[in-house]
Amino acid sequence: MLLTTDAPQASPDVQSFVGKDHKLLIAGEWVAAESGKTFAVTNPANGQPLATVSEGDAADVNRAVAAARQAFESGPWHAMTPSERGKLLWKLADLLETHVEEFAEIESLDNGKPRAVAAAADIPLAVDLFRYMAGWATKIEGTTIPISVPYMPGAEFHSYTLREPIGVVGQIIPWNFPLLMAAWKLGPALATGCTVVLKVAEETPLSALRLGQLIQEAGFPAGVVNIVTGFGETAGAALAAHPDVDKIAFTGSTEVGKLIVKAAGNTNLKKITLELGGKSPNIILPDADLPAAIVGASNAIFFNHGQCCCAGSRLFVHRSQFEEVVDGVAEQASQIKLGPGMHPDAGMGPMVSQIQQERVCNYLESGFREGARAVIGGNRSDTDGYFVEPTVLVDTKPEMQVVSEEIFGPVVAAVAFDDPEELIPAANNSIYGLAAAVWTQDVSKAHRLAKQLRAGSVWINCYNVFDAALPFGGYKQSGWGREMGHEAIDLYTETKAVTLQL
């Protein structure tokens, strides 16, 4: 199943970008970390060092927050009209669009995902997000509100609301969709007039750093977007605890999400949005179009090597069709070619890091110890890259870790159901509530289930459908707030109620 680990080289432009000495973007300048420290970023396809980046920490976060504060309160960004902000965002989208192949290569080298997938999904989605948010810049409106004020009889008022940018925003992002997560975060912040300190994941800092160059080229004023590379425990924690940050927008693990909440509680009660983990149910009903559902179930878990917060990692199938569906998904898995993301035939690349490969394999071992069985897959590859085979597990029980916890790898637990009445409680039996899917040809049933599922996204006869206009986020411990759509704009603004006595 594994292709050769040799892969074509990246283009000369990408090689020269990746090989340069990467710095932090603070106040419009590329600067070394104050400590002078750097760290190595690894190519997960071969375990070799890929790049050297600056190790920013609390001192650099302080500098970046000061720059963002200054840019928010004075200077050209502060004075800019909504239309001018929108134009800059549109220009950034145009620039990014002319560099799709370059970003796809950077993303593939750094994260491990297939270059073609990044070129078809990650980068175009980021372009589209910036364009969608560019449109919002001129449409952030308050309301006029008739008021009564019972204790002031006869008085007349004119009341209205303003939606104002929330201020300096700290954004902390993960490694699974490095550029796209940066876009989801930056787009609404910039549309609303906020300024940003972006802390990218230590495993995958490169595409955000290249984006930083395009942000400068587009003409965003200095200090509007500051980018700090470094570690979560130092740079990330310093940002979350910083008293002069007005909001933290975080995507990552539920565990770290809770630390962010604590840090805000212990300091300035900054606003928080969280996009956290998931263990999403994917339900195939007996009347589904089975061939489509089988392909859909395979894509639901194996897309991005299962390193998706919304991966369809619990597959519910009626017992009468269980074998057929499990065999079908296993057949799909058997056709996925594992290989370096830069290899043109690779359908699945390596896990992002050795740590992530270990995590996934530890989960598999715990499942096997408890009696689960792999119909296909179940192993890591015997190479220097961090590959794990696409895996379909059966004979699981709800209390097993492989069923209840997020694995964040290409592992699906298939579960048979008999009684449709038991299905919804079983599907909702999770601390998470990020996504869910239903495959059925019965429209009423589809909508009834969509209503009953406790999840922020429900897909019917499809999976992993994302759009800049669709809000995305979680119920329960999958998060607070939503990304994308107008809901994201709301979460980057404060509402001010203004009242004038006539």
Interface positions with ligand NAP (CB under 6 A): 172-176, 199, 201-203, 231-233, 236-237, 240, 251-253, 256, 259-260, 275-277, 309, 359, 406, 408
Q: Which two tokens stand for residue 379?
A: 């192993």
Q: 300 near 312, Cβ under 8 Å?
A: yes
- Residue 410 Cα distances to 329, 384, 389, angstroms: 12, 19, 7
Distance of CA 353 to the CA centre of its chain: 17
Active site residue 275: yes
Concatenating the DSSP letter of every residue in 437-488 gives: EEE-S-HHHHHHHHHHS-SSEEEES--S---TTS-B--EETTEES-BSHHHH
Residues in the chain: 502
Concatenating the DSSP letter of every residue in 227-276 gives: EE-B-IIIIIHHHHH-TT--EEEEES-HHHHHHHHHHHHHTT--EEEEE-
* Kind and range of the H or E run holding 376: strand 373-376
- Nearest distance, CB of residue 198 and ligand NAP, angstroms: 10
Q: Which of 194, 308, 309, 310 is catalytic?
A: 309
Q: Which of 55, 102, 203, 275 is catalytic?
A: 275
> For residue 303, what is the DSSP state?
G
- Nearest distance, CB of residue 178 and ligand NAP, angstroms: 10
In the chain, the largest separation of any two C-alpha atoms, in whole Å, equals 82
Rounded Cα–Cα distance for residues 374 and 364 (Å): 9
Active site residue 73: no
Q: 158 near 499, Cβ under 8 Å?
A: yes
Positions marked catalytic: 275, 309
